[in-house]
Amino acid sequence: MKQVKIYCPKCQWVPDASARWLCEPSCGCSWNTFETCGVCPRCGRNWEDTQCLACHRWSPHADWYHEFIPDEQQQMPKTELAGATG
Ligand SMILES: [Zn+2]
Ligand SMILES: [Zn+2]
């Protein structure tokens, strides 16, 4: 199963639920851009680039999503001894 982690592709900063971005100079709305995939909920502007609140550099919004595959629980193969009768 794939999971997605969201963090800054430049500094690995992880935005939390209280992080806010400003839609400026469009409408000045303040919201969490990762709850709307980079779309301003007020004016509908689609922000293709997202600025990191930690390092203040811009990265494409899609680059913030990092797919990873968690370690699958490996089942130990059963070793059966057969044909030991003699
Ligand atoms: Zn950053
Ligand atoms: Zn806006």
Provide the domain count of the chain.
1
Residue 22 CA to ligand 2 center (angstroms) comes to 8
Residue 75 lies in a domain: no
Tell me the pTM.
0.76
Residue at token pair 């089942």? 75
Structure confidence at residue 72 (pLDDT): 66
Residue 55 lies in a domain: yes
Q: How far apart, in whole angstroms, are the C-alpha atoms of residue 13 and residue 53?
A: 8
Extract the tokens encoding 38. Answer: 């980079």
Residue 82 lies in a domain: no
Residue 35 CA to ligand 1 center (angstroms) comes to 18
Residue 68 CA to ligand 2 center (angstroms) comes to 31
pLDDT tens figures, 7-64: 999 999 999 999 999 999 999 999 999 999 999 999 999 999 999 999 999 999 999 9
Give me the residues near ligand 2 (ion), CB cutoff below 5 Å.
23, 26-27, 29, 40, 42-43, 45
Burial class (CB in 10 A: 0-12, 13-18, 19+), 70: exposed
Q: What is the residue range of 36's domain? A: 3-68
pLDDT over threshold 70, residue 80 = no
